[in-house]
Amino acid sequence: MLIVSKCLTGECCRYDGRSKPDPEICALVEKGLAVAVCPEQLGGLPTPRVPAELTTTGEHVLIGGGRAITRDGRDVTREFVAGAWAALKIAKEAGASRAILKAKSPSCGAGEIYDGSFSGRLAEGRGVTAALFIKNGIEVETR
């Protein structure tokens, strides 16, 4: 079983109230081969929502060494971390060993994510959920 970012399935769960459908991922979910999660919604954030970026990488946020901050300065670290744990619980219940997540996101990105300056610049790192998945043995790829 695969676990996938919900916005890749056509669900309008992104911060801007839109989605990023990926035909291959949509087909996998339709066939029952993938389970979709949106960690930010699972953490209690509304849609649409003010976008957030991390002050550091997801690994550091998970151990209290960094924060998730919205563009207007609100600390949403608690929601990001809660959403990551809720997504991991669903992944484990589904028996998922692989994930395909949305690139660049402060929750789902892996490899590079937005650098915390809200300027569109990217930096090496993982989102909070991607970091938690990897820490728990789930292989993560992004698109």
Q: Which two tokens stand for residue 69?
A: 């901050």
142 binds ligand SF4 (CB under 6 A): no
In the chain, at which residue ranges do the beta strands (DSSP E only) sit?
A: 2-5, 34-37, 52-54, 68-70, 98-101, 110-114, 122-126, 139-142
Nearer to ligand SF4, 39 or 125 (CB): 39
140 binds ligand SF4 (CB under 6 A): no
- Measure the CA–CA gap between 90 and 83, rounded to whole angstroms: 11
Q: How far is the CB of 7 from ligand SF4 (least distance, A)?
A: 3
- Measure the CA–CA gap between 106 and 99, rounded to whole angstroms: 16
Among the listed residues 2, 3, 13, 100, the single contact to ligand SF4 using CB under 6 A: 13
Residue 51 gets which letter from DSSP? -
Among the listed residues 22, 40, 53, 79, the single contact to ligand SF4 using CB under 6 A: 40
Q: Which stretch binds ligand SF4 (CB under 6 A): 32-40, 50-58, 67-75, 118-126?
A: 32-40
Among the listed residues 29, 38, 84, 138, the single contact to ligand SF4 using CB under 6 A: 38
- Measure the CA–CA gap between 43 and 90, rounded to whole angstroms: 13
Contact positions vs ligand SF4 (CB under 6 A): 5-7, 13-14, 38-40, 102, 105, 107-108
